[in-house]
């Protein structure tokens, strides 16, 4: 009985833990310009997936491959 109670307590502790990572953030893996789109390809910290996002020239010019970057107006990818 004590064994089951301990397992339940451990399971509840893991369920209640908050993720430390922001799943809208990642590392810039690549960048470029295509048809007027200044894009940054970002590898998501949570999923490891890469996705390209278009930004204005000012944002594109001030961020570099290898930099951390968050895309706040998009769902996690």
**Cβ burial, residue 40 (10 Å; 0-12/13-18/19+):** buried
The answer, yes or no, to whether residue 16 has pLDDT greater than 60, is no
State how far the Cα of 68 lies from the Cα of 26, in Å rounded to an integer. 6
What tokens were used for 49? 């997936």
Instruction: Domains for the chain: give ranges and CATH numbers.
Output: 20-77 (2.40.50)
Closest CA to 33 of 4, 60, 11: 60
Q: What is the mean pLDDT of the chain?
A: 85
**Predicted confidence (pLDDT) per residue in 17-26, tens digit:** 555 567 999 9
Q: How far apart are CA 51 and CA 3, in angstroms?
A: 45
Position 15 pLDDT exceeds 90: no
pLDDT tens per residue, range 50-71: 999 999 999 999 999 999 999 9
pTM of the predicted model as reported, rounded to 2 decimal places = 0.70
């Amino acid at each position: 009985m004590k064994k089951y109670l301990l397992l339940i307590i451990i399971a509840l502790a893991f369920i209640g833990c908050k993720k430390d990572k922001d799943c809208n953030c990642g590392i810039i893996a690549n960048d470029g310009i295509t048809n007027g789109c200044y894009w940054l390809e970002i590898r998501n910290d949570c999923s490891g997936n890469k996705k390209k996002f278009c930004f204005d020239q000012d944002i594109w010019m001030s961020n570099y491959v290898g930099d951390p970057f968050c895309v706040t107006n998009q769902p996690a990818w």
